[in-house]
Structure 1
Amino acid sequence: MLKNLVNVAMVLSVCLSIGYAKPLKECKSERDRLNGCIEKRYFRTGGLWVETPYKNGKQNGIRKAYYKSGWLHTETPFENDKRNGVNKEYYEFGQLWRETPFENDKRNGVNKEYYEFGQLWRETPFENNTINGVKKEYYESGQIKEETPFENGKINGVWKTYYESGQIKKEAPHKNNVPTGVEKRYYESGQIKEETPFENGKINGVMKRYYASGQLETETPYENDKINGVRKEYYESGKLKEERLYKNGKLFIYKEYNEQGKLIISTE
């Protein structure tokens, strides 16, 4: 019984010490910053702008910044002048906007951003201030919208985007931020819509577009981002509709056919 009373007394003592802890006084001198104080800055209108806690002459504690309206803008945890912990930013009406984890003043961990009504919007993984891993973006519904793979701050791998239904929308292979390989776009049904070949960031090869039915719509030959050769367009039936001869991106000859295959226009 006595032991229990002692434990209760200890808990009450701790609670009282926390409840009645003296708030830090406002900084007036360097001595105050050594002993512990809050530096306050104000807007020209007189409203509080920033509160920065000091101890041992350095920023230690949660620095707070405010909107002119008085709402909290940011909370930044400091240890000896360096950001350590989760930095939080808020929309002006109080809803959390972004969380950024810091270690020794560098972003380390997953940066999270939110829509105005609280749903997760974006997740960005950091290592030593550099994006590393898969960056993800979401629709307000919570469905995945984009997945972008990063290595050392650059896009490396297949960047994917999605329809809100969850169906894949685009697949774009990258190497060191540069489009490389065949970029594919899809209809929401899952049917292929477009195929674009890239080499070192430029379109090289035959770009193909398809009808929603899967039938080939156009074939366009590219060299270093310029149309070179004969571009062909087809009716959905598969019959040839147009032929356009290009040289270095300039049109030289145009031919058009009706669905029966008869030539109806020619500039040759």
Structure 2
Amino acid sequence: MLFTAASCTNATVISKDKLEVNTRKGLVYYKKEPFTGVAVSYYAGSVLAESISYENGKKHGVYKKWFSSGDLSYEAYYKNGKKEGVAKSWWVNGNLRSKSIFKKGIVNGLQKQWYNTGAKFKEMNIVNGKEDGIQKSWRKNGKVYNNYEAKDGRIFGLKRANLCFQLENEVVQVK
């Protein structure tokens, strides 16, 4: 399937281990030139493990990872070396694990995470990489664990509270 898509765009497909990374420049090279194409790696037995698109030595396009079973484990999109758009990850059982939104490599928007059962784990509102707005997390049994608001670097509400306490006049009262 990967090679069909690659042949439509005439992309060069090579093994990821043939690439050289220049950490100082932040670029990936193949034969001493910034790489443009698709780099792949495989599990033993020729099951695709990873596929990364590059343009001029930077991640550009789709990046996918698979479990050894062949099921998708991660998918993200890159533009000029930075994540752009929706990034998703899955549990080995096929349930969605996380969904994040990126703009120019920075997390932005509603981020969601789930337990492997499919139950909600977290919902976080992020603006320019920082918590902003209502943040929630749940226990595996579905009960709210955290429910607070973040604004200008300040937290309003009880973070990591077990919800057995309530505030009255800024003093914690036990029910």
Quick check: TM above 0.5? yes
AA at the equivalent of 1:232: Q
Gaps of 5+ in 1: 1-60, 65-72, 222-227, 235-268
Counterpart of 1:231 in structure 2 is 172
Correspondence 1:252-267 to 2 at 5 A? none
Residues 208 and 142 of structure 1, relative CA distance in 2, 3 Å threshold:
same
Does the 8 Å contact 2:13/2:38 carry over to 1? no
AA partner of residue 207 (structure 1): L
Work out the CA distance in 1 between the residues paired with 2:106 and 2:174.
37
- CA pair 118-206 structure 1, distance change in 2 beyond 3 A: same
CA-CA distance at 1:79 after TM superposition: 9.0
Which residue number corresponds to residue 73 of structure 2? 121
CA distance in 1, matches of 2:160, 2:59: 42
Distance 1:200 1:91, change over 3 A: farther
Provide the residue aligned with 2:17 in structure 1: 74
Identity of matched residues, % = 25
Report the equivalent of 1:183.
135
Distance (whole Å) between structure 2 residues aligned to residue 109 and residue 127 of structure 1: 6
Who is 1:217 aligned against?
164
Paired with 2:97 and 2:78, the residues of 1 have a C-alpha distance of: 20
> Within 2, Cα distance between the matches of 1:62 and 1:210?
50
TM-aligned CA deviation for residue 118 of structure 1? 2.3
Q: Distance in 1 between matches of 2:144 and 2:125?
A: 16
SS at match of 2:124: strand
Determine which structure has more spread, i.e. the larger CA radius of gyration: 1
Answer whether contact 2:13 2:40 (CA < 8 A) is retained.
Answer: no
Paired letter, 1:217: C
Distance 1:163 1:186 in 2: 9
Q: CA deviation at 1:190?
A: 4.0
Instruction: Summarize the Cα distance change of 1:62–1:143 in structure 2 as closer, same or farther, 3 Å threshold.
Output: closer
How far does residue 143 in structure 1 lie from its aligned partner after superposition? 0.9
The one of 207, 215, 240 equivalent to 2:158 is 207
1:138 to 90, 94, 100: 90
Find the aligned partners of 1:208 and 1:62 in 2 and give their Cα distance.
47
2:25 is matched with which residue? none
Q: Which sections of structure 2, spanning at least 5 residues, go unmatched? A: 1-11, 20-28
The answer on whether the counterparts of 1:75 and 1:89 sit within 8 Å (CA) in structure 2 is: no
Moved more, 84-93 or 73-82: 73-82
Counterpart selection for 1:150 from 102, 121, 131? 102
CA distance, structure 2, for counterparts of residue 84 and residue 220 of structure 1: 57
- Maintained 8 Å contact 2:149/2:157: yes
- Report the Cα offset of residue 165 of structure 1: 2.6
For the 8 Å contact 1:102–1:108, the answer to whether it is kept is yes
Tell me the alpha carbon deviations over residues 142-180 of structure 1, each in whole angstroms, 9 at most, x when there is no partner. Answer: 110001111111111111101223222110111111111
How many angstroms does 1:97 deviate by? 2.1
Instruction: Say if 2:133 and 2:151, in contact at 8 Å, map to a contact too.
Output: yes
**1:185 corresponds to which letter in structure 2?**
S
Which amino acid is the alignment partner of residue 41 of structure 2? E
Aligned-partner SS, 1:74: helix
The number of equivalent residue pairs is 155
Indicate the structure whose relative CO is greater, using CA pairs within 8 Å and at least 6 residues apart.
2
- Asked if 1:163 corresponds to 2:115, the answer is yes
Q: Give the letter aligned to residue 165 of structure 2.
A: T
